[in-house]
C-alpha cells in the first residue's frame, strides 16, 4: 500500500524493518531503546548520532543549537514569541494559510503581531510579492510557513529580512530539498512528515537568540534550558528520537537532501503535469508556488469524491482525502513516498477519469 497521509506520514520501509529487528534487543543490550535510560551511554550515543547526522544532512553549523523537543510543532507557536520577543514590541508574520494563521493566533496571546503580508486576496493560491510586504525593520523576528501542508502553497525562495531574524515552520518541507539554513534565526519542524513519529519537534536555533525568554515562559519551552541540558531537561521522547536518527541515516544513504530534492521535484512535477493535462482534475495554486510535498486536487464533480476514494483504497492508495477544512483530495508525497507510489496514483487517476469523467 502507498500511504498519502499528510501526517503522521509514511516512513521508509527499511527504517521500519530495522526498528522491528531492534525492537526487543538493541545491539545485544537485551533492551529495547524504549526501555533505556536517556542518561545511559547507549542512548546518549543514539541521540548524539541523530543530531550529528541531521547537522550533516542540513548543513547546520555550530552557530546553531539543535533541540529535540516535545509537544509537536504547535507547541512552538507559543515557544517562539515567549523566547524571541525579548524587549521588542512586536513580531512580523506572513499569512499563507491555515498553519500560518494558527501560529499568528497563538503569538497574539503573547505580544503585538503584525501580519505584514497575506495570501488571502489570492484565495491562498499565490505568495504576495515581497515588494509589497509591510515589514518592520525593528521587529523581533519574521515568521513564515515555507510550505502550507493543507493548502499546498510553498515558497520557492527564502525571504530576505536583513537583521531581523527569520523564523520558519518547516514541518512539512524540512529535508525535502537543499536549503541554506544559515539564512534563518530559527526553524522548527514537527517530526511526523519527513523526520519520524509525531510528538517530537526539531528546533534549530541560532545561539545568539538564546537566553531571551520571558521570565514567565514555561521551563519546558525555554530554549536556553533545553539547549543547556542537551534536550534532556526532562525525559525526552527517546524512541521517537531514535527513529528520527534511523530516518537521518536512511536519508544520507539516499544521497542526502540534494538527491532527495531531485527525486521530490520529479515526483511533484509528474503529478502536477498530469493534473494540468487532464480536464477532470484541477489544482488551484500558481505553478511557481506549488508544493512539492502536498498536492491538493479536486475532481470535476465533487459527487464523485466518495467513489474516487473507495477505488483508491481498493488499490492500496490510502489517505487521499483532502483536509476537512478544504475538501477535495490531497496527495502528500514526502521523502519516504517512492516514485512508484506517485506512478500508481497517476495511473489510477487516469483510469478513474476515463471511466467516470
Q: Residue ranges for the binding site for L-glutamate?
A: 39
- Residues in the interface with ligand PLP (CB under 6 A) total 12
Residue of 26, 99, 241, 292 marked catalytic = 99
Q: Please identify, using beta-carbon distances, which residue of 64 and 99 lies nearer to ligand PLP.
A: 99
171 part of the interface to ligand PLP, by CB under 6 A: yes
Check residue 332 for interaction with ligand PLP (CB under 6 A): no
The string over 35-73, giving b where at least 16 C-beta atoms fall within 10 Å of a residue's C-beta and e elsewhere, is: ebebeeeebeebbeebbebbbebbebeeebbbbbbbbbb
- The catalytic residue among 193, 249, 267, 321 is 193
Candidate list 7, 81, 236, 322; residue touching ligand PLP; CB under 6 A: 7
Span of 84-92, 168-176, 259-267, 284-292 interacting with ligand PLP by CB under 6 A: 168-176
Beta strands in 119-206 (DSSP E): 142-144, 147-148, 153-154, 166-169, 186-190, 200-206
Comparison of 321 and 353: residue with beta carbon closer to ligand PLP? 321
Based on CB atoms, which residue is closest to ligand PLP, 149 or 298? 149
Could you say which of 12, 72, 151, 152 contacts ligand PLP (CB under 6 A)? 72
Phi, psi of 175 (to 5 degrees): 65, 15
Q: How far apart are CA 5 and CA 307, in angstroms?
A: 18
Is the separation of the CB atoms in 156 and 288 below 8 Å?
Answer: yes
Residue 99 touches ligand PLP, criterion: CB under 6 A: yes
* Ramachandran class of 175: left when φ > 0, alpha when ψ lies in -120 to 50, beta otherwise: left
**Neighbouring residues of 232: CB distance < 8 A, sequence distance ≥ 6:** 38, 39, 47
Q: What is the number of the residue whose Cβ is closest to ligand PLP?
A: 72
Rounded Cα distance, 262 and 197, in Å: 25
Task: Give the shortest CB-116-to-ligand PLP separation in angstroms.
Answer: 19
| Nearer CB in complex with ligand PLP: 202/299 | 202
CB within 8 Å of 109: residues ≥ 6 apart = 78, 81
Active site residue 193: yes
Residues that bind ligand PLP (CB under 6 A): 7, 72-74, 99, 145, 149, 169, 171-172, 190, 198
List the catalytic residues. 99, 169, 193
Amino acid at each position: 500500500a502507498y500511504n498519502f497521509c499528510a501526517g503522521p506520514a509514511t516512513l521508509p520501509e527499511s527504517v521500519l524493518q530495522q526498528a522491528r529487528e531492534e525492537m526487543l534487543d538493541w545491539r545485544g543490550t537485551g533492551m529495547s531503546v524504549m526501555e533505556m535510560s536517556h542518561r545511559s551511554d547507549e542512548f546518549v550515543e543514539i541521540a548524539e548520532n541523530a543530531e550529528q547526522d541531521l547537522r550533516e544532512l542540513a548543513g547546520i553549523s555550530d552557530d546553531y543549537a539543535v533541540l529535540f523537543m516535545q509537544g509537536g510543532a504547535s507547541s512552538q507557536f507559543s515557544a517562539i514569541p515567549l523566547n524571541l520577543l525579548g524587549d521588542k514590541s512586536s513580531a512580523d508574520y506572513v499569512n499563507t494559510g491555515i498553519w500560518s494563521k494558527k501560529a499568528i493566533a497563538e503569538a497574539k496571546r503573547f505580544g503585538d503581531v503584525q501580519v505584514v503580508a497575506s495570501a488571502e486576496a489570492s484565495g491562498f493560491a499565490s505568495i504576495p510579492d515581497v515588494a509589497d510586504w509591510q515589514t518592520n525593520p525593528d521587529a523581533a523576528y519574521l515568521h513564515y510557513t515555507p510550505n502550507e501542508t493543507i493548502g499546498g502553497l510553498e515558497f520557492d525562495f527564502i525571504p530576505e529580512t536583513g537583521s531581523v531574524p527569520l523564523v520558519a515552520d518547516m514541518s512539512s518541507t524540512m529535508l525535502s530539498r537543499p536549503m541554506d539554513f544559515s539564512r534563518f534565526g530559527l526553524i522548527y519542524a514537527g517530526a511526523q512528515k519527513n523526520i519520524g513519529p509525531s510528538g517530537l519537534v526539531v528546533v534549530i536555533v541560532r545561539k545568539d537568540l538564546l537566553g531571551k525568554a520571558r521570565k514567565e515562559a514555561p521551563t519546558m519551552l525555554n530554549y536556553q534550558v533545553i539547549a543547556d541540558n542537551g534536550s534532556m531537561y526532562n525525559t525526552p521522547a527517546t524512541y521517537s528520537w531514535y527513529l528520527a536518527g534511523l530516518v537521518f541515516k536512511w536519508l544520507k544513504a539516499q544521497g542526502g537532501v540534494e538527491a532527495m530534492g531531485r527525486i521530490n521535484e520529479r515526483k511533484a512535477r509528474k503529478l502536477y503535469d498530469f493534473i494540468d493535462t487532464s480536464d477532470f482534475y484541477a489544482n488551484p495554486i500558481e505553478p511557481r508556488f506549488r508544493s512539492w510535498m502536498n498536492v491538493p486536487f479536486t475532481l470535476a464533480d465533487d459527487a464523485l469524491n466518495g467513489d474516487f476514494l473507495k477505488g483508491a483504497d481498493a488499490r492500496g492508495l490510502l489517505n487521499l482525502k483532502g483536509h476537512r477544512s478544504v475538501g477535495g483530495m490531497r496527495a502528500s508525497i514526502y521523502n519516504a513516498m517512492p516514485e512508484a507510489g506517485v506512478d500508481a496514483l497517476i495511473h489510477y487517476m487516469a483510469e478513474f477519469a476515463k471511466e467516470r469523467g
